Chains A and B, each alone.
Chain A
């Protein structure tokens, strides 16, 4: 466990140290990795620790992104306002959706979260007076922040996003090792047994759902600032599926794994597509390879051999 933490911390330090020497394009990709890593880790709380495969995780991500987009363009709100409001919005959405979704499990849970995700997408698409519909909200400024330096340039913004990812990683890691996190794992392994032991299974699952939603929102906040743009694409099914793939690729139930999965997918998408139009084929081959040879994800494969 400690080695894993050291490796994760090492990766963060290395990324921070290398960043000043990179040109601006790889740097923006690394920024994207940091942001998507938070989304993947938040989904890992559901998929990896609690065993709930959600197909609607982009909803909370998108709700927060929209909150930032609307607040910062319509009301010129700063970072200190946007962040808490966006997290609250994402948390509330998850709290409501959780009430509906947690009753189901397995495929039914998958279907309900899918449907709920589509509801948010529909709102983003059709509530034009609020979301500008299909056109999206453009011109989201970089956060003014409470910080003394300007975040417009790629490098400071990267550090900003990296710090956010580190905070999310520490918070979720602490959660995973807490009695609460261990209970979630217990629920994943055997729900009936946990119930027999006197645990309130529903409440644990519900809280995990809301926490995952809040952290997805945390990721969404930075996504909105990063792109300067929010559109229905951010809340659509493809985004949810991509998050799910990041978790599956990296290794569910490891936190660091999904972060790694996020890195692999972001770089695959952006580098391989430069060389060939058939990059989706390569991405697909990587997925199949992982499922065949490392069903527990890239990091999962490392762990089994090290024990």
Chain B
């Protein structure tokens, strides 16, 4: 009986699984809806951020009634599980099966690198709203990718400049997550900071699966003027808490990469976060009418304050729609759509004015933010603005690109002992 049941079960499962294979291949749409393929981690450790990303995109599309130039917009969301191979599979499905006109989304840097050859091979216009790995628009530029987000080191160059000009910190110790995003954040800061006369006196790398920061906190040099930290998600929460518990908060001021106090973690933080200064291209507390409108609408939809992930995907959706308008709704012409994506110029967006440089990365404002408690809740108050910052900072692109990518060992730590 059991065996017979199992056989029946097996046959049913296999039939169900194989059925979609036999369906007719989809025809390329000519006048149907404009299809946007969106990749986000909807399961796994990054599912919350994935949800923020989908919410941001949906918010904008709903605002315009999911129509542009008389054509409906269809959003097709696929789950990447935060894994490159899955992301690649889902991209194939979106591009080859669903025949989307634009591919977008994605969270982690390694997915950005993994998709790049596929996107260029398929010649499908794509935008990266979040994936920030420097080289995607620097040393390994992709023809078919337009980045509507940011490059990892982009906010860190002006941040170092700000620290040099506005504080007396000249000896800084760093602690960051031990992967590319950490290296590029710390490297960008170190590069400009040391050129301006500052010294990085210590670089600590904590593994992504760190459960206890005590051993790392014990190592931090107490003779430094300040500490630069770079963490994401759970680690950001835990680091700030343990930093205070170790009694370091009052003694060594804390600086950070933008994700260390991003609004995706800030509501779960307590007083330990107050006073941390970070740099990013967005803050939920940015006092502009465009941002106030966005933040209010997002809170109404999602029931939480927008993080930079939500803003990134919101503006990204708008970006794509603007590009479709530029080509008169003819999203089928991939070459023209790509050119339009590079031509979009937003004079006003939730994060400020935006345009694209020759390498496909936005030129945008960078905000120096300090965590404060306002009206009972924590926010990243903007204390300085660097307008129209390029990913190359003040360097000539050609010169900048001759330098190696920021890595674990580059720039070398000359002042470490």
Contacts and interface: CB of A to CB of B under 8 A. Distances in A.
Q: Do A and B bind each other?
A: yes
Interface of A: 22-26, 28-29, 32, 125-126, 128, 133-136, 138-139, 227-229, 231, 233-234, 238, 263-264, 267-271, 273-274, 277, 279-280, 286, 289-290, 293-294, 298, 301-302, 304-305
B97 A136 contact: no
A233 to B, nearest CB: 5
Interface in B19-63: 20-21, 25-26, 42-43
Contacts of B216: none
Given A138-B116, A229-B117, A301 B6 contact: yes
Nearest to B95: A25
Contact of B97 (A25, A294, A298): A25
Contacts of B18: 267
A25 B96 contact: yes
A258 B178 CA distance: 37
Contacts of B5: 293
Contacts of A290: 6
A128 B17 contact: no
Nearest to B405: A135
Contact of A305 (B4, B86, B96): B4
6 contacts: A23-B97, A133-B179, A135-B110, A231-B85, A293-B5, A298-B6
A134 B117 contact: no
B114 A227 contact: yes
Contact of B43 (A228, A231, A277, A294): A277
Contacts of B79: 273, 277, 279
Given A134-B179, A136-B113, A231 B20 contact: no
Given A135-B109, A227-B85, A22 B25 contact: yes
Contacts of A25: 92-93, 96-97
Contact of B180 (A133, A280, A304): A133
Contacts of A22: 21, 25
A274 B116 CA distance: 23
B10 interface: yes
B332 interface: no
B133 interface: yes
A32 B89 contact: yes
A280 B47 CA distance: 13
Given A23-B96, A24-B96, A227-B114, A234 B25 contact: no
Given A23-B26, A134-B180, A264-B17, A289 B114 contact: no
Interface of B: 2-7, 9-10, 13-14, 17-18, 20-21, 25-26, 42-43, 78-79, 83-86, 88-90, 92-93, 96-97, 109-110, 113-114, 116-118, 133, 140, 178-180, 407-408
Identify the 8 closest CB pairs spanning chains A and B, nearest first: A23-B25, A294-B6, A301-B6, A25-B97, A134-B179, A25-B96, A267-B17, A229-B114
Nearest to A236: B83
Contacts of B114: 136, 138, 227, 229, 231
Nearest to A270: B89
A97 B30 CA distance: 56
B21 to A, nearest CB: 5
Nearest to A305: B3
A28 B116 CA distance: 18
A75 B300 CA distance: 54
A170 B6 CA distance: 28
A29 B90 CA distance: 11
Nearest to B112: A135
A29 B109 CA distance: 24
B96 to A, nearest CB: 4
